[in-house]
């Protein structure tokens, strides 16, 4: 991992680790609660995956995961996902 901040030292993650980063661009690094705060995450601690992202009432959609994962997710998206309801209740 290499930071855009030259003051940060580069480092290597172990094979079974990942680095998670908040996707809210409005947050400063010190405000985000992500790997910059708590460090690498063990892959065994990850118990799910994101299948749909709702940024706003007009900016939303399926997350591009692996082809096999997206096929597994399709029944959930078809039956359980109410995009109109999500957009109506979204507070951005």
Q: Each residue's pLDDT tens digit in the chain (92 positions)?
A: 887 878 888 989 999 999 988 877 788 777 888 888 899 999 999 888 888 887 776 777 888 888 998 898 888 887 777 777 777 776 65
Residue 65: partners with Cβ closer than 8 Å, 6 or more residues away: 49, 50, 51, 73
Query: Under a CB-based contact definition with an 8 Å cutoff, are residues 34 and 44 in contact?
Result: no
Shared-domain flag, residues 41 and 55: no
Residue 50 is predicted with a pLDDT of 84
Q: 1 and 43 share a domain?
A: yes
Q: Which of helix, strand or coil describes residue 89?
A: helix
Contacts of 19 (CB under 8 A, 6+ apart): 1, 13, 35, 40, 41
In the chain, the number of structural domains is 2
- pTM summary value: 0.52
Backbone φ, ψ for residue 2 (5° rounding): -130, 130
Position 3 scores a pLDDT of 78
Same domain, 5 and 21: yes
8 and 37 both lie in a single domain? yes
Q: Give residue 80's domain range.
A: 48-92
Same domain membership, residue 40 and residue 53? no
Domain identity same for 33 and 64: no
The pair of structure tokens assigned to 90 is 């979204």
């Amino acid at each position: 991992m290499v930071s855009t901040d030259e003051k940060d030292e580069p480092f290597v993650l172990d094979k079974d680790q990942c680095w998670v980063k908040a996707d809210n661009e409005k947050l400063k690094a010190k405000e985000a609660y992500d790997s910059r705060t708590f460090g690498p995450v063990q892959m065994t601690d990850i118990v799910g995956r994101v299948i749909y992202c709702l940024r706003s009432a007009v900016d939303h959609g399926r997350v591009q995961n692996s082809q096999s994962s997206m096929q597994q997710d399709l029944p959930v998206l078809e039956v359980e996902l109410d995009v109109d309801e999500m957009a109506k209740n979204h507070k951005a």
